[in-house]
A = this chain, B = another copy of it.
């Protein structure tokens, strides 16, 4: 399973590590909350389900900054009380339980906001990411709870990604990227990548979204896939980039 270990010792009510407590109060200039959050989120994401060590270089690339800056920041994050990351020189970095808790909380904010913007404020699914990315750092626990209540505690964001629970629990899923799915075996779209709005619009056009049945009929003619979508009679050829933005589960 995925993040189940965090659920126990960091259960919601008992956990003093939410939001603002983790980040030292801004003194003068900024110890920008965004910054810390973004590092932790990146480590969570790049570490993958196995929570492998993440290299400074890939963090730098992912965050759009220089490796030297990453080194400096990781040293600070590791020196926090409690430490947010475990950092071994030249070897990489992992989240500590405290850091993982914070990263999951921000991820919960992000996905709740996406669902909220989509369901209540008429955002299309290709518009939600940027707005949520900005706001996720600043909403209070109270607002988080009210939004979740208003939505009826949704389990996924509009792209199909699971929303962590308040406790930090995140349901495990055995998703597979579409290009790695075998031909002929029935599948259902479980989630789609949300980083490229134009890709999302293309998916909308094709009727591709979480929950839609799908079957790969033939693979890899110049890396594209011939796919049957839903109950359509016709087949569609998906480009490499489109196909690899789609994750599926067995139907």
Contact = CB atoms under 8 A, between A and B. Distances in A.
A150 B120 contact: yes
A121 B146 contact: yes
A115 to B, nearest CB: 14
Contacts of A142: 127, 131
User: Copies of this chain, how many?
Assistant: 2
A134 interface: yes
Contacts of A123: 146
Interface string A128-168: 00110011001110110011011000000000000000000
Interface in A80-121: 117, 120-121
Contacts of A135: 135, 138-139
Contacts of A131: 139-140, 142-143
A72 interface: no
Contact of A134 (B30, B134, B140, B146): B140
A5 interface: no
A32 B27 CA distance: 13
A122 interface: yes
A224 B142 CA distance: 36
A214 B176 CA distance: 66
B138 A134 contact: yes
A8 interface: no
A120 B147 CA distance: 9
Contacts of A150: 120-121
A9 interface: no
15 contacts: A29-B30, A30-B30, A30-B32, A117-B143, A117-B146, A120-B120, A121-B146, A121-B147, A122-B146, A123-B146, A127-B142, A131-B139, A131-B140, A131-B143, A135-B139
Given A117-B146, A131-B142, A135-B135, 10 more contacts: A29-B30, A30-B32, A117-B143, A121-B147, A121-B150, A130-B140, A131-B140, A134-B140, A135-B139, A138-B138
